[in-house]
Amino acid sequence: MDTNILVYNLTNPTLLFFVLGVIAAFLKSDLEVPPGSVKFISLYLLFSIGFRGGQELSHEAFNSELYATLAFAMGMAVIIPLYTFFLLKQKLNVYDAGAVAASYGSVSAVTFISAAAFLDNLKVHYGGHTVAAMALMEAPAIIIGLLLIGQFAPSEAGKTKGNNLWKWVRESLTNGSVIMVMGSLIIGFVADSKQAEGIKPFTSDIFKGFLAVFLLDMGMLAAKRFKAFLSYGLFVTAFGIIIPLVNGVLAAWLSGILGFEPGNRLMLSILAASASYIAVPAAMRFAVPKADPGLYIPMALGITFPFNITIGLPLYWAIIQG
* Within-domain flag for 182: yes
Rounded Cα gap, residues 10 and 5, in angstroms:
9
Which pLDDT value is given to residue 173?
65
* Within-domain flag for 26: no
* Within-domain flag for 27: no
| Buried b / exposed e along 84-116 (16+ C-beta atoms within 10 A) | bbeebbeebebbbbbbbbbbbbbbbbbbbbbbb
Q: How many C-beta neighbours within 10 Å does residue 35 have?
A: 9
Radius of gyration of the chain (CA): 19
**Domain holding 92: CATH number?**
1.20.1530.20
- Cα separations (Å) of 53 from 49, 133, 158, 186, 204? 6, 11, 39, 9, 12
Rounded Cα gap, residues 219 and 33, in angstroms:
11
Which pLDDT value is given to residue 6?
59
Query: Tell me, what amino acid is at 322?
Result: G
Query: Tell me, what amino acid is at 193?
Result: S
* Within-domain flag for 25: no
Rounded Cα gap, residues 119 and 62, in angstroms:
22
Residue 82 — φ and ψ, nearest 5°? -65, -50
Q: Measured on CA atoms in the order 219, 244, 56, 182, is the torsion positive or negative?
A: negative
Collapsed DSSP state (helix, strand, coil) of residue 278: coil
Instruction: Name the residue among 281, 316, 271 with its Cα closest to residue 301.
Output: 281
Which pLDDT value is given to residue 219?
83
* Within-domain flag for 259: yes
Rounded Cα gap, residues 224 and 128, in angstroms:
35
* Within-domain flag for 303: yes
**pTM of the entire structure?**
0.77
Which pLDDT value is given to residue 223?
80
Instruction: Name the residue among 263, 229, 236 with its Cα closest to residue 69.
Output: 263
Number of compact structural domains in the chain: 1
Per-position pLDDT tens, the chain of length 322: 555 655 666 677 877 888 898 899 889 899 998 988 888 888 888 788 788 878 877 877 788 888 899 899 999 999 999 999 999 999 999 999 999 999 999 988 889 988 998 898 889 999 888 888 887 787 788 888 888 888 888 765 444 444 566 666 666 567 666 678 778 888 988 888 888 888 888 877 788 888 888 888 878 877 876 766 777 778 999 999 999 999 999 999 999 999 999 999 999 999 999 998 877 876 777 678 888 877 888 899 888 988 998 899 999 999 999 8
Instruction: Name the residue among 211, 192, 189, 158 with its Cα closest to residue 38.
Output: 211
Rounded Cα gap, residues 142 and 132, in angstroms:
17
* Within-domain flag for 131: yes
Domain interval for residue 143: 3-18+35-321
Instruction: Name the residue among 187, 210, 181, 213 with its Cα closest to residue 199.
Output: 187
* Within-domain flag for 268: yes
